[in-house]
Structure 1
Amino acid sequence: MRLDSSTFPVVKIVFDAPNEGGAQDAFLIFERLLAREQPFVLLHEKAVDENNHAHSHEERRHASIWMKKNKTALRAYVKGMIQVEPSAAKRLALKPFAVTFGKAWGYPLLVVESSDRAWALAEDVLDERVSDAAHF
């Protein structure tokens, strides 16, 4: 996982790109973003690849511990993660996962069909003009 905050408050996230320092370094970067104490959204512009998200037990354990440690900040500052998925079928299939994701991470997973729509939604979410339930 790699985080790119050059367009903050929209933070690009790439899951299949390794971070130079590994997963732990990515979580340190995430902590620095949370330490800014400013709202932001995560944006994943690459379509979902089900084969690319297999994490080891140790990685899942580390992420779970990190989430619990940062729960308050995650809920306060991360306004959502926007996933671009051009396939209508895959967007539909992601609906149940989005519910689980939101409960686990403390912010909603919002799935849209294009990068243009994702950037527009990011602005709306950051402006707090839309409700969390209105995205799909």
Structure 2
Amino acid sequence: MRIDATQFPFVWLQKTIPGHSQEESLAEFEAVLARNEPFVLISNEGLDKEQPEHSPEQLKQITLWMKRHKSELKRYVKASIHIESSLAKRLAGKAFALVYEKFWGYPMLIATTEDEALALARNLLQAKEK
């Protein structure tokens, strides 16, 4: 995954491009966390887009990274919002969202459109300011 923080506090997750390593992705994520400010992750790639299979070593690396940054993830990431137009895929994604939140420590939400995702992100960020 690539992290695009040019519209911070809206941080876009994008499919990894060839030559972009997992270490680079985690470093990008770490740089966003280092801002010490709340933000929302947004992905417009849908819920069923093919993701590359992670090797056991890569999964271990992700898990260790997540554990090292658990408190920052809970404090600064208000949600991960995935844009999915298909009702069936949104419904299927809701079950996965529970597992996702337990692992990452922040909620996974699903929006139908980009406008809906951005409105939801704004509401989450404003609610946390109060």
* TM-score after normalising by structure 2: 0.92
Contact 2:48 2:89 in 1 (8 A): no
SS of structure 2 residue aligned to 1:37:
coil
1:72 aligns with 2:75: no
**Which residue of the partner structure matches residue 94 of structure 2?**
95
1:128 aligns with 2:118: no
Q: How far apart, CA to CA, are the structure 1 residues paired with 2:48 and 2:58?
A: 18
Give 1:49 shift.
2.4
Give 1:20 shift.
4.9
Change (3 A) 1:77 1:119: same
Contact 1:12 1:42 in 2 (8 A): yes
* TM-score after normalising by structure 1: 0.88
1:8 partner amino acid = F
Runs of 4 or more consecutive aligned structure 1 residues displaced over 6 Å after TM superposition: none
Task: Give the superposed CA RMSD.
Answer: 1.5
1:1-136 map, 5 Å: 1-14=1-14, 16-18=15-17, 20-128=19-127
Contact 1:19 1:25 in 2 (8 A): no
**Unpaired stretches in structure 1, ≥5 consecutive residues:** 130-136
SS of structure 2 residue aligned to 1:47:
coil
* Residues 79-121 of structure 1 deviation map (CA, whole Å, 9 limit, x = unaligned): 0000001000000001111000001001000001111101111
1:48 partner amino acid = L
Change (3 A) 1:19 1:110: farther
Q: How far apart, CA to CA, are the structure 2 residues paired with 1:48 and 1:101?
A: 13
Contact 2:47 2:93 in 1 (8 A): no
SS of structure 1 residue aligned to 2:62:
helix
* Residues 19-59 of structure 1 deviation map (CA, whole Å, 9 limit, x = unaligned): 75411011111111111100000000111225335322122
Q: How far apart, CA to CA, are the structure 2 residues paired with 1:97 and 1:57?
A: 20
SS of structure 1 residue aligned to 2:120:
helix
